[in-house]
Structure 1
Amino acid sequence: MRTLAFDGRLGASGDMILGALLAAGADPDALVPAEDALDVRYEASEVVKRGIRATSVDVLLADEHDHHDRDGNGEASHGHDEDHDDHTHAEGAGPHRSYREVCELVESMGLPGAVEERAVEAFTVLGEAEASVHGEELDSIHFHEVGADDAIADVVGAALLLADLDPDRVVTTPLSAGGGTVEMSHGTYPVPGPATVEIAERADWSIRGGPVEAELLTPTGAAILAVVADGVETLPGLRVTSSGYGAGDRDLADRPNVLRAILGEEAGLTREEIVVLETNVDDVAPEVLGGLQTTLAEVGARDVTVLPATMKKSRPGHLVKVICRPEDAERVARRLAEETGTLGVRSVPGTHRWVASREIESVTLELDDGTHEIDVKVASDESGAVYDVSAEYDDAAAAAGEAGLAIREVASLAESAWRDANGG
């Protein structure tokens, strides 16, 4: 499996993502459709950040690149400090648009279908975040900084460069949000800003504070990664084929302001850092124990197992074992205590597990009573080799009930249909 991995320990913005993708091998010519449609120019240059060579990308608006062409040596300007690219655009950076206007503009650009879909989805994520923060409907949202031409160029450019690299999978490590406060159009807010937090809630990856008192993760960067990237705790095992760094504008005191992108081939299963939580209970109602899969998953549990056990004085009880990520452990332990009334939860830190890549795909079955769509879970290793296909129980049960067949029979038919459609 060809995997693109972002190392987000120093955050991400739209410009940094563009720079990292170019540095990792994306073709700059892939950006031409956006340049033509928006009348902008992407200008990439090499900079050094705390000893790290990185690619900086500036988006020149029409008047800026015309001036640059005339004098031949004009300083490229993105119109804003890119680590604040979603909050501090200059007023002349282009028109501010509604969510619907931005989507219509992207859809009018004649982009390849997958590129357009990604760009529109990123703006939908941004719009939903803003709507949630301000208590408004999505269609009533007006973007300010992220509706300007250069911000649109960031999102569309990232979608174009990702299509050029064409990885099978995109992942990111936990993203550092920074600290302190940030100035926005509505006032001063703590970092991460409200929209960034809303986007993180909708994303598969996680955020963490620090390591500096500055805004490191912007809404535009977060929205792009929310659309394209799965979260991982550590970089996966890769046979690296290319890598590079995208530069930010900040000069941090003791670390480079860069986003690293690594492109390579995965092989085997993915190592995931986990914590195992345990507690013994002997007075919890069966209904509560049965609901732990759902209630604990809501706060980050990856797996929940309830085992029968013999307690002190030979009382029957249960051992509850929960697997979660280290950063979710405290929250999961608290919910476990609240749900069961246990007086203590044990933690087994410093462990890991090897996990498969899992995708949900749909197959169509023609049964005696009609057509049914069945989801199947496809498990593969990091090389893309499929080693298990299993039908989703609820879908198989619903179809079996309507067709008067055994659930096991319908599940087998769905799994065979997927294998037939995928060559084995």
Structure 2
Amino acid sequence: MSILAFDGRMGASGDMILAALLDAGADPDVLESVTDALEVEYRIDETVKCGISSTTIDVYLTDRDGSDGHEQGHADEHDGSEHSHEHVDHDHGDGHDHEHEHTHDDGDEDDHTHDHAHTHENGDSHDHVHAEGHGPHRSYLEVREIVENMGLEPAIERDALAIFELLGEAEASVHGESLEEIHFHEVGADDAIADIVGAVLLCHDLAPDEIVTTPLATGGGSISMSHGEYPVPTPAVVEIAQRADWSLRGGPVETELLTPTGAAILGHLADGVESLPALDLEGSGYGAGGYDLDPHPNVLRVLVGDGGGRGELVKDDIAVLETNLDDATPEVLGGLQETLADAGARDVSILPVTMKKSRPGHLVKVICKPADRERVARALAEETGTLGVRDAGATHRWIANREFETVALEVDSETYNVTVKVASDVDGEVYDVSAEYDDALAVARETRVPVRDVLRRAETVAQAAIDADDSFGDIS
């Protein structure tokens, strides 16, 4: 199974993600879907960060001649200097512009960018304007319409739209507005669309089976935005992280490292891991950020490789609740499977234990979804009278993909249906087939065939159908 792994120890921004994927071997030609739809071009260069050769990428507007003194000066300064992580703020109709307090630090002999630019069908682009902070600002609905009209492959379009939706929902939550009311500031500009759609295009070009990221560093300190001075991570990043599978980590420097655009891209595409997985490496890439953060190399590293072995099981977020009981009746304990299931429990286990003063008792362990933990804990307390329910601290479990199929068994010229449960990994490899006992018992009672024989026959038929890649219902 191929895995694309982001190393999040220096955070992430949209341009760093693009640059890292290109450096890892993604084909830059796939970005033409963006440059054909928007009047922008990508400039791909190289730089060195603390001795690490890295790729940089910038988005420039191609429909502006740069005659405005401010804009031309910005573009000229950008070409000859290191640029900061982009920070994304949004305009909600109040007319305030985003205030950048980050500086543009001149490069030195060890940290430099090359002047030559990689462009896409735009010829000489020396007087084009850097897109960050320039160009139109759009609402969420306007951005969605642009993406839908880009002619992207369906899977790519779905991912791109999902990222903008995640970003929009985060901003809507922060500002107490609906998703339809959100008016993006910089995220609605061409450069942000180019970052997000471009990242999806490059990820699909590398075509990994799974994308993961280690905990993402946020940096620290505070930044000035249009609505005031905000701590790092910014409110939008915090909202996105709450919806994402990965975790945040502060530091290692006092500046912004994780932008909302970077967080949203990885929030949709990547699953969280605590450390880099074991990989048979096939490639790697480094995408440079703008700051010089010596002795920390300000780069986003991405690794591409084969995870090896058979496919993994599915990661399922859960909570585990438990309590000790020394006075529960057998009837109450026996009914917990049903009463707690009504509250959201996925599984209930009851184990005999020895409690204080050598008294016999029971340990009740309940698995539920995190969102259901309070409701399940309340039900457990009400049903048993326990004075306390512990959260055992489990965050997830690994489970099989499960499908239920029906097989037809023929006994004495009569056909009987038995449901079987088919368990497989994420690659679809089946590793267990189990007939449902209740169905088998019903057949056994009617045919007087031992239930274990019915179970065995049903599982044999199901396995034969799997091996033949055939329809379950057509085999008897």
Partner of 2:270: 229
1:378 aligns with 2:419: no
- Deviation of 1:130 (Å): 1.0
Candidates 195, 199, 203, aligned match of 1:154: 195
1:317 aligns with 2:368: no
Partner of 1:217: 258
How far apart, in 2, do the equivalents of 1:224 and 1:117 lie? 13
Contact 1:23 1:54 in 2 (8 A): yes
Q: CA 1:31–1:343 in structure 2 vs 1: closer, same or farther (change >3 Å)?
A: closer
Q: CA 1:54–1:295 in structure 2 vs 1: closer, same or farther (change >3 Å)?
A: farther
Q: CA 1:146–1:356 in structure 2 vs 1: closer, same or farther (change >3 Å)?
A: same
Partner of 1:12: 12
Q: CA 1:63–1:39 in structure 2 vs 1: closer, same or farther (change >3 Å)?
A: closer
Bigger-Rg structure (1/2): 2
Q: Which runs of 5+ in 2 are unaligned?
A: 90-97, 101-130, 409-419, 443-454
Which amino acid in 2 is paired with 1:215?
Answer: E
- Deviation of 1:317 (Å): 2.4
1:83 aligns with 2:81: no
- Deviation of 1:83 (Å): 2.0
- Deviation of 1:214 (Å): 1.6
Q: CA 1:133–1:379 in structure 2 vs 1: closer, same or farther (change >3 Å)?
A: same
**Cα distance per residue 1:282-316 (max 9 Å; x no partner):** 3587689879999999xxxx999653212233322
Contact 1:40 1:65 in 2 (8 A): no
Which amino acid in 1 is paired with 2:144?
Answer: C
Which amino acid in 2 is paired with 1:46?
Answer: E
Q: CA 1:278–1:13 in structure 2 vs 1: closer, same or farther (change >3 Å)?
A: same
Q: CA 1:173–1:214 in structure 2 vs 1: closer, same or farther (change >3 Å)?
A: same
Partner of 1:281: 324
**Cα distance per residue 1:242-285 (max 9 Å; x no partner):** 0011111111142111111100011137799xxx9998723587
Q: Which runs of 5+ in 1 are unaligned?
A: 367-373, 401-407
Partner of 2:451: none
Q: TM-score, normalised by structure 2?
A: 0.65
Contact 2:354 2:361 in 1 (8 A): yes
Instruction: Give SS of 2:425's match.
Output: strand
Q: CA 1:417–1:232 in structure 2 vs 1: closer, same or farther (change >3 Å)?
A: farther
Partner of 1:38: 38
Q: CA 1:260–1:116 in structure 2 vs 1: closer, same or farther (change >3 Å)?
A: same
Partner of 1:122: 163
Instruction: Judge which range, 40-49 or 207-216, deviates more.
Output: 207-216
Output the aligned Cα RMSD.
4.9
1:136 aligns with 2:138: no
How many residues are aligned here?
379
**Cα distance per residue 1:10-65 (max 9 Å; x no partner):** 11111110011001100111111101211111111111111221111111112568
Which amino acid in 2 is paired with 1:62?
Answer: T
Which amino acid in 2 is paired with 1:233?
Answer: E
Q: CA 1:255–1:280 in structure 2 vs 1: closer, same or farther (change >3 Å)?
A: same
Partner of 1:371: none
How far apart, in 1, do the equivalents of 2:87 and 2:288 lie? 13
The alignment-based identity, stated in percent, is: 53
How far apart, in 2, do the equivalents of 1:318 and 1:223 lie? 45
How far apart, in 1, do the equivalents of 2:251 and 2:344 lie? 27
Q: CA 1:196–1:92 in structure 2 vs 1: closer, same or farther (change >3 Å)?
A: closer
* Alignment of structure 1 residues 210-359 onto 2, 5 Å: 210-268=251-309, 281-283=324-326, 306-319=350-363, 341=387
Q: CA 1:136–1:74 in structure 2 vs 1: closer, same or farther (change >3 Å)?
A: closer
- Deviation of 1:184 (Å): 2.1
Q: TM-score, normalised by structure 1?
A: 0.72
- Deviation of 1:228 (Å): 1.1
Contact 1:59 1:78 in 2 (8 A): no
How far apart, in 1, do the equivalents of 2:305 and 2:87 lie? 29
**Cα distance per residue 1:70-121 (max 9 Å; x no partner):** 9xx9676699955233135888511111111000001111111111111111
How far apart, in 2, do the equivalents of 1:304 and 1:83 lie? 48
Which amino acid in 2 is paired with 1:256?
Answer: P
Q: CA 1:278–1:357 in structure 2 vs 1: closer, same or farther (change >3 Å)?
A: closer
How far apart, in 2, do the equivalents of 1:78 and 1:361 lie? 58
**Cα distance per residue 1:347-403 (max 9 Å; x no partner):** 99xxxx9x868557798999xxxxxxx9976325xxx47243679x9xx99xx9xxx
How far apart, in 2, do the equivalents of 1:51 and 1:376 lie? 52
* Higher strand content, 1 or 2: 1
Instruction: Give SS of 1:129's match.
Output: helix
Q: CA 1:242–1:307 in structure 2 vs 1: closer, same or farther (change >3 Å)?
A: same
* Alignment of structure 1 residues 65-76 onto 2, 5 Å: none
Instruction: Give SS of 2:43's match.
Output: strand
Instruction: Give SS of 2:10's match.
Output: coil
1:23 aligns with 2:23: yes
Which amino acid in 2 is paired with 1:197?
Answer: V
Contact 2:323 2:389 in 1 (8 A): no
How far apart, in 1, do the equivalents of 2:182 and 2:356 lie? 60
Q: CA 1:233–1:421 in structure 2 vs 1: closer, same or farther (change >3 Å)?
A: farther
How far apart, in 1, do the equivalents of 2:65 and 2:349 lie? 60
Instruction: Give SS of 1:93's match.
Output: coil
1:100 aligns with 2:141: yes
How far apart, in 1, do the equivalents of 2:342 and 2:290 lie? 43
Contact 1:289 1:306 in 2 (8 A): no
How far apart, in 1, do the equivalents of 2:286 and 2:470 lie? 37
Instruction: Give SS of 2:152's match.
Output: coil
